[in-house]
Amino acid sequence: MRATSPGNVPNSELTAEYYGQRSKAPGSFIITEATFISKKAGGYDNAPGIWSQEQVEAWKPIFKRIHDNKSYVFMQLWTLGRQSEADTLARDGLPYVSASDNIYIDDSFKQISEKAKNPQRALTIPEIKQYIEDFKVAARNAVAAGADGIEVHSAFGYLLNQFLDPKSNHRTDEYGGSIENRARFVLEAVDAVIGEIGAEKVGIRLTPWGVYGSMSGGHDPTLLAQFAYIIGELEKRARAGKKMAYIHLSEPRVTNPWLVEGEGEYKEGSNDFAYSIWKGPIIRAGNLALHQDDVKELVNNDDRTLVAFGRYWIANPDLPYRLAEGLQLNAYDRNTFYDQTGKGYIDYPTYEEALKLKWDQ
């Protein structure tokens, strides 16, 4: 949330410093903050985009810093749907869309929508096709800016996830109803970016257990079949010569990223099912920095497993070193996560700096 407005142009100076700090261990793999594929896919003024040449140019020095450190980066491609701000969209003359008409996240989203005279409506099929083209352009732009690849964000209640979940998708056309139909938009987007930049440069983020954005998570016993189907379709593509880089899954211990660690955990499910279907790398994320014994078990059980960190990666620029050495972690300040300044972004100390500052006391 440190991009400039209007234009959703990333802050080259701050963001390059942030990722420069966090890519100093050679071989680090960075997944960027979620990045809008087009103006209509957005609705947050200070989140970055990747649809304009100005944005591409702003990303170049950021990715160069990562590569100069001999590390790697995929850009996460984002579409908001009904998690956008209806009034911000109305200001810019853009519709407030989702999979279906008038199925709001909650009353507060409905009230903002009604006040802005921008009711939530279903995407038309031509609009879906345009979104798919936007994914292609965004993927091409990301690689042109220097990214090693892209991650399709189909998680945590944003637009693609809204199509997957029967709670938010009440459509009766080819994008609704059956498991196959609800997966169609996601798979068409994946196929589009694979065709544009190559399967080896594409990953996907899924949250089978997520409830953020009023998703069903484990409360719907039929929903896991939806994710198993998608993963199976991706494995079919892999066997046909289009093997994606990875699948990225959030753990059931984090069903809502706004909750603090330990809250909202779904204890009756596991992501282990994915290994029976997908035979490529699987990234797992979700409150793992505080559970290092669980991490050891995950990576020892299957050598295709990688582990991702978010909140503690923000607060610990030297996180790989600290994890390797079993060192104390800096606490993070959630209040500064989405500020527009460098506070709580590029001013966290390394372990040695923290000792000098007496942060361990």
**242 domain-assigned:** yes
**145 domain-assigned:** yes
Kindly report whether the peptide bond that precedes residue 208 is cis, defined as omega within 30 degrees of 0. no
The CATH number covering residue 29 comes to 3.20.20.70
**333 domain-assigned:** no
**113 domain-assigned:** yes
Average pLDDT per 10 consecutive residues for the chain, totaling 361 residues: 96 97 98 98 98 98 98 98 98 98 98 98 98 98 98 98 98 98 98 98 98 97 97 98 98 94 94 98 95 92 96 96 94 94 97 92 77
Report the run of H or E that residue 163 belongs to, with start and end: helix 159-164
**199 domain-assigned:** yes
Please check whether residue 309 is in contact with residue 319, taking contact to mean a CB–CB distance below 8 angstroms: yes
Residues 89 and 94: their CA atoms lie apart, in Å, by: 5
What is the predicted pLDDT for the residue at 360?
79
**316 domain-assigned:** no
In the residue annotation, 338 being an active-site residue is answered as no
Q: Which entry of 158, 212, 345, 351 is annotated as an active-site residue?
A: 158
Q: Which of 140, 146, 116 is nearest to 38 (CA)?
A: 140
Question: Which residue(s) pair with 9 in the sheet?
Answer: 4
Q: What is the amino acid identity at position 117?
A: K
**83 domain-assigned:** yes
Residues 290 and 309: their CA atoms lie apart, in Å, by: 10
Positive or negative, the Cα torsion across 220, 221, 226, 231?
Answer: positive
Number of domains in the chain: 1
Contacts of residue 339, defined as CB under 8 A and 6 or more positions apart, other chains included, come to: 1, 2, 345
* Burial environment of residue 234 by CB neighbours within 10 A (0 to 12, 13 to 18, 19 or more): buried
**324 domain-assigned:** no
Full residue range of the structural domain in which residue 96 is found: 12-308
Q: Which long-range contacts (CB under 8 A, 24 or more apart) does 333-339 make?
A: 337/1, 338/1, 338/46, 339/1, 339/2
Q: Which of 158, 169, 191, 211 is nearest to 35 (CA)?
A: 158
